[in-house]
Amino acid sequence: MSEPVLQVRDLRVYYHTDEGAVKAVDGVSFDLEPRVRLGLVGESGSGKSTVALALLRMIKPPGRIEGGQALLNGRDLFKLSEEEMRKVRLREISLIPQGAMNSLNPVMRVKDQIIDGMKDHDEELPAAELEERVYELLDSVELGRDVADKYPHELSGGMKQRVCVAIAISMRPKVIIADEPTSALDVVIQRQVMETIGRLQEALGSSVILIGHDMGLMAQFVDRLAVMYAGKLAEVGTVQDIFTEPLHPYTQLLIGSLPGLETKGVFKGIPGLPPSLLSLPPGCVFHPRCPQVMDICSEQAPNLEEVSPGRWVACHLYGKER
């Protein structure tokens, strides 16, 4: 395998609330190889968006990156100055945030919203050139030139989401993170937008982290899957491996609960409640719900270990402790 474009190591992000520290992301590590599509799945509140925001250094108080590394082509994003980070955003790594299409500025024309981001990087570019770039970008996301002068309320959901995609790829980043980019759209439009994202990713030679709940969509779109539970990764591997032979008991329950690969299985989680991120259970965070729990599980937290090439599992049933 080629050198990863992104290496995340022991990422920890806590939200400091009155009740204590919410450990939203607590020791997440993974690699993203060039041109690979990685899906990040997990129940609501498992920390997926927090991972995305942390990688862009967009965590806001009371949230804080407590530790870890995010090496983008070997450079630790967490060590960059604000100014350096501003340049990296959009140009090297970009995010389509959760709910992006509803966060477009309602009183700003589409073209100005696209130009806004680019201007941060290419202040020198003359207006005419910026406008030409806007048309090219609209073209690449399969929107007509007339969209440039429209306001968000004049566009359908799918069109708005395409505008968000255009913004995210405007500086041709090598890593694109898409946080539930299609969850608000109906199935047909969903597929079309995903196809556009996929086509652009291939054209740019970029890697994608797709965050979502829809396992059917994941099965179709991504190469690798990372399963998140209570702020930690339970399992990482190829989509094929995870769907056909899930190793982590949590993943096993999840996959077992899906109607089938061809159907639109939506990740709803499994029966019971995930733990409070304010007071996580000792040992393995999944132990109170695990059907295969052992004595060691409530005492010692399992590490995410590579059990076969490219296959990572955090569970005492596997790995060195076994």
Ligand X SMILES: Nc1ncnc2c1ncn2[C@@H]1O[C@H](COP(=O)(O)OP(=O)(O)OP(=O)(O)O)[C@@H](O)[C@H]1O
- Which positions lie near ligand SF4, rule CB under 6 A? 248-249, 284, 286-287, 290, 292-294, 297, 302, 315-317
Task: Specify whether the CB–CB gap between 70 and 30 falls below 8 A.
Answer: no
Residues in contact with 82: Cβ distance below 8 Å, sequence separation at least 6, in sequence order = none
Residue nearest to Mg ion (CB): 49
CB of 44 to ligand X, least distance (A): 3
Residue identified by tokens 């109607």 is 259
Strands 224-229 and 37-42 turn out to be parallel
- Cα separation of 311 and 150, whole Å? 46
CB of 249 to ligand SF4, least distance (A): 4
3-state secondary structure of 104: coil
- Cα separation of 268 and 239, whole Å? 18
**Smaller CB distance to ligand SF4: residue 186 or 321?**
321
**Binding flag, residue 49, Mg ion (CB under 5 A):** yes
CB of 101 to Mg ion, least distance (A): 15
Give me the count of residues in the chain: 322
CB of 38 to ligand SF4, least distance (A): 22
Report the interface residues with ligand X, using CB under 6 A. 15, 17, 22, 24, 42, 44-50, 62-63, 98, 277
CB of 301 to ligand SF4, least distance (A): 8
**Smaller CB distance to ligand X: residue 46 or 251?**
46
**Smaller CB distance to Mg ion: residue 31 or 179?**
179
Only one of the segments 21-29, 91-99, 147-155, 201-209 lies at the binding site for Mg ion (rule: CB under 5 A); that segment is 91-99
CB of 277 to Mg ion, least distance (A): 14
- Cα separation of 58 and 273, whole Å? 28
**Smaller CB distance to Mg ion: residue 38 or 171?**
38
Q: Which two tokens stand for residue 165?
A: 């995609």
Residues in contact with 154: Cβ distance below 8 Å, sequence separation at least 6, in sequence order = none
The contact pattern for Mg ion, residues 135-154, with x = CB under 5 A and - = no contact, is --------------------
Say which entry of ligand X, ligand SF4, Mg ion, none residue 292 contacts (CB below 5 to 8 A, set by partner kind): ligand SF4
- Cα separation of 235 and 251, whole Å? 7
DSSP H helices in 76-227: 82-88, 110-119, 127-140, 157-169, 187-204, 215-221
Only one of the segments 41-49, 77-85, 102-110, 224-232 lies at the binding site for Mg ion (rule: CB under 5 A); that segment is 41-49
Residues in contact with 244: Cβ distance below 8 Å, sequence separation at least 6, in sequence order = none
Interface residues with Mg ion (CB under 5 A) are: 48-49, 98
